[in-house]
Amino acid sequence: MIERPPDPANPAYLSVVDAGRLLQGGRLSPIELVTAVLGLIDDHDASIGAYISIRREQALSEARIAGTEIRGGRYRGPLHGIPLAIKDNIAVAGLPTTNGSRVMADNVTDYDAAVVGRLRQAGAIILGKNSMHEWAMGSTCSGMAFGTVRNPWDPDSIPGGSSGGSAAAVSASLAMAAVGTDGMGSIRVPAAYCGVVGLKGTYGLVSRFGELPPTSSWIDHVGPICKTVADTKAMLDVLAGHDPRDSTSRQRPRSSAWRRTVSRLRGLKVGIFDNYFRDDLEPEMASSFDAWTAALEGAGAELRIVSAPSLGLCPLALLAIQSERESLLLEYAFDPANFAANDIRLRIIASQFISASDHLRALRVRDLVRDEIRLILDEVDVVATPTTSTTALKIDAPTIALGPENTLYDRADPGVIHRATVRLTWPFNVAGVPAISVPAGFLSDGMPWGVQLAAGAWQDDVLLEIASAVEHELGVGYHVPPLAEASSVRDDA
Amino acid sequence: MDSVRPRDVPHGNVDERVEVLLQLARIEFAGRISDRDLTDLRPYLTRIVEASALLRVLDFGNLDPTSAALLVHRGGPTCG
């Protein structure tokens, strides 16, 4: 249930699960729902910039078909008739898939990505493609080839990235849910900044077929961004599954052992790191996370202090990503006109000077970090961290304050944006374990912050159950941002 | 050899190695890369060289993870 929607009669503000119940029961039609969401897009996307392309007429046509199917007793499940959005590095047949790049502006595929195909099979309606950070190689979504994405909670702040358009769209109810990608935190960071839920599953759980390059062979994940944890589970149930077209896809059962051993949060073993994750927290984020862990303990959870000394080496493992991912784009990098973000272009050129031996050494660091995290997750049900060290950064801020002393760093320095945004999320990409960001409240700047929970490999359902318990018992959940509050129901359905 | 302390990490030749890489870039990408690009590449190459130095020390097992992590956190390589 969404608390305090600005217009309770507007179905666009519903969660996927709640809308699905109404659709199944015939109390809401897909055409009403799609029309309502398109209405909010018309009202607000000019100021948010969440979409690169919208398939309005096709979506309305598919909504009519879905309505006919549901009325005829052919209800396909919780996503039937639900309008969703897709990040623009995931192929949707007939639409451009730009990867946020001018180079790919005219790239129209004649096939769907695996996840899009699965969503269509489930009866979901694809509204369009979401803006993103260029080539998914950054986390601001500012000054991109197709514009700047703005945070629905503050138009002067970034939405995060690289799935920034997707998180902004879900936050502002411009989509009921969205599909993003996460190589270092690109689902969870924008989810935290925009006050929604973002999940990357176990590596291999969701097919990456149709996710366009550059993707790394060992860190990239496709996953859902939603208003609630229940919506996230509904989405993952459709997105997950073995796909022989993706060599990294795995056919393994998702464990749900937790529900048999723990009742809600009582007795839950939660690991809290004593290193790395606190280093850059701004003071209010640190105190808010401490208050959150105290509330978790008060709800019956057992906190365990854990330590992973190698986490600090994570930035070294980045070398392996850089040499693998960015080497794909060298030929484009020589022409500045191909790039909106010059730092990406320079990183691509610089990556040519990473030696093969350093690449291998970086992979060994990755293995070290991965093993430490996985060993910790053998001993606890989940680990909990803040998702980010700060709330969403201002779009034009020249400096970034990090750490207990609010030390200022020059935003233009290589690595500073990375450190400020994805530093707390990407260890779990390295580990390949499922991780989720859930809304945890608001700091004094009025911006949302998120808590990140991670569980052992293939414990995706366990993680979702725990996240659901956290959502309900520590109760913050999704709130409608102020940008969306001026809308009303359209009557042109 | 005991753990290498942060001050012992071989960073002394970082600038020289960056210069070598810039020369390589100038030759390998001649006609395709501007002087401005070469200037702007310097901080990115510096990060790579610093990371490479740390990785080599780590790989020989003579820098414990805590010391190395301290180096990374204190403004060492973050590689963008």
Interval A462-493: pLDDT, tens? 999 999 999 998 878 999 998 755 444 333 33
Question: What is the overall mean pLDDT for chain A?
Answer: 92
The pLDDT value recorded for residue A1 is 61
Which residues lie across from A401 on neighbouring strands?
A: A408
Residues in B closer than 8 angstroms to A313, CB to CB, are 58, 65, 68-69, 72
Query: For A456, how many CA atoms within 13 A lie in the half-sphere containing its CB?
Result: 15
For A119-122, the CB contacts below 8 A with 24+ separation are: A119/A79, A119/A84, A119/A179, A119/A238, A119/A239, A121/A76, A121/A238, A122/A76, A122/A77, A122/A78, A122/A79, A122/A80, A122/A238
- Reported as a pLDDT band with limits 50, 70 and 90, residue A300 is very high
Those residues whose C-beta lies under 8 Å from the C-beta of residue A483, and which sit 6 or more positions away, are: A44, A47, A48, A152, A153, A155, A172
Between A481 and B14, whose confidence is greater? Answer: A481
CA distance A309 to A37: 47
Between A273 and B48, whose confidence is greater? Answer: A273
Tokens read off for A217: 């062979």
Q: Which residues of A are catalytic?
A: 87, 162, 186
Distance to chain A for B18, nearest Cα, Å: 10
Between A115 and B58, whose confidence is greater? Answer: A115
- Report B:18-57 residues touching A (Cβ under 8 A): 21, 24-25, 28-29, 32-33, 37, 40-41, 43-45, 47-48, 51-52, 54-56
Does the beta-carbon distance from A334 to B51 stay under 8 Å? Answer: no
Q: Is A413 on the interface with B (CB under 8 A)?
A: yes
CA distance A222 to A201: 8
Closest CA to A181 of A159, A152, A213, A149: A213
- Secondary structure (H, E, C), chain B: CCCCCHHHCCCCCHHHHHHHHHHHHHHHCCCCCCHHHHHHHHHHHHHHHHHHHHHHHHHCCCCCHHHHHHHHHCCCCCCC
Distances (CA, A) of A458 to A263, A469, B63: 20, 19, 33
Q: Helix (H, G, I), strand (E, B), or coil: what is residue A51?
A: strand
Q: Mean pLDDT across the stretch A48-60? A: 97
Does the beta-carbon distance from A319 to B51 stay under 8 Å? Answer: yes
Which residues lie across from A3 on neighbouring strands?
A: A479
Query: For B27, how many CA atoms within 13 A lie in the half-sphere containing its CB?
Result: 7
CA distance A180 to A226: 10
Closest CA to A96 of A83, A84, A110: A110
Tokens read off for A55: 């398939």
Which residues lie across from A225 on neighbouring strands?
A: A178, A198
Phi, psi (rounded to 5 degrees) for A295: -65, -35
Residues constituting chain B: 80
Q: Helix crossing, B14-28 with B35-59: angle to 10°?
A: 130
Lowest mean pLDDT among A10-24, A97-111, A142-156, A262-276: A262-276
- Reported as a pLDDT band with limits 50, 70 and 90, residue B77 is very low
CA distance A234 to A78: 7
Those residues whose C-beta lies under 8 Å from the C-beta of residue A180, and which sit 6 or more positions away, are: A87, A130, A162, A163, A166, A167, A186, A187, A190, A198, A222, A223, A224, A225
Q: Judge whether A420 and A179 are in contact, CB under 8 Å.
A: no
Phi, psi (rounded to 5 degrees) for A177: -165, 170
Q: Mean pLDDT across the stretch A169-174? A: 98
Those residues whose C-beta lies under 8 Å from the C-beta of residue A247, and which sit 6 or more positions away, are: none
Where does residue A451 fall: left (phi above 0), alpha (psi -120 to 50 degrees), or beta otherwise?
beta
Choose the mutation target among A275, A334, A353 for the interface with B, i.e. most B CBs under 10 Å: A353
Q: Indicate whether A327 pLDDT > 80.
A: no
Give the nearest partner residue to A316 out of B32, B33, B54, using CB atoms. B54
Residues in B closer than 8 angstroms to A355, CB to CB, are 52
CB crowding A293-306: b at 16 or more within 10 Å, else e: bebbeeeebebeeb
- Reported as a pLDDT band with limits 50, 70 and 90, residue A56 is very high
Model pLDDT for residues A220-279, shown as the tens digit of each residue:
999 999 999 999 999 999 999 999 999 899 887 666 555 444 458 889 999 999 989 999
Does the beta-carbon distance from B65 to A350 stay under 8 Å? Answer: no
Closest CA to A313 of B52, B62, B72, B8: B72
Sort B2 into a burial class: Cβ within 10 Å, 0-12 / 13-18 / 19+: exposed
Between B72 and A439, whose confidence is greater? Answer: A439
- Reported as a pLDDT band with limits 50, 70 and 90, residue A315 is confident
Model pLDDT for residues A347-403, shown as the tens digit of each residue:
999 999 999 999 999 999 999 999 999 999 999 999 999 999 999 999 999 999 999
State the Cα angle at B52 between B48 and B57, rounded to 5°. Answer: 155
Give the β-pairing of A269-273 and A302-306.
parallel
Does the beta-carbon distance from A415 to B55 stay under 8 Å? Answer: no
The pLDDT value recorded for residue A10 is 94
Distances (CA, A) of A406 to A282, A394, A414: 6, 15, 19
Q: Mean pLDDT across the stretch A129-140? A: 95
Lowest mean pLDDT among A79-93, A313-327, A435-449: A313-327
Does the beta-carbon distance from A318 to B51 stay under 8 Å? Answer: yes
CA distance A393 to A22: 38
- Which amino acid belongs to residue A311? L
Distance to chain B for A74, nearest Cα, Å: 50
Is the whole-model pTM more than 0.80?
yes
Centre a 10 Å sphere on the Cβ of residue A404 and count the other Cβ atoms it contains: 12
Distance to chain A for B45, nearest Cα, Å: 6
Q: Indicate whether A106 pLDDT > 70.
A: yes
CA distance A339 to A348: 11
- Reported as a pLDDT band with limits 50, 70 and 90, residue A124 is very high
Question: What separation, in Å, do the N-terminal and C-terminal C-alpha atoms of chain B show?
Answer: 32
Residues in B closer than 8 angstroms to A276, CB to CB, are 69
The pLDDT value recorded for residue A137 is 92
CA distance A80 to A66: 7
Phi, psi (rounded to 5 degrees) for B25: -60, -40
How large is the ipTM? 0.85
In this structure, the dihedral spanned by the alpha carbons of residues A390, A101, A168 and A113, taken in order and rounded to 10 degrees, is -120
Q: Indicate whether A72 pLDDT > 70.
A: yes
Does the beta-carbon distance from B25 to A353 stay under 8 Å? Answer: yes
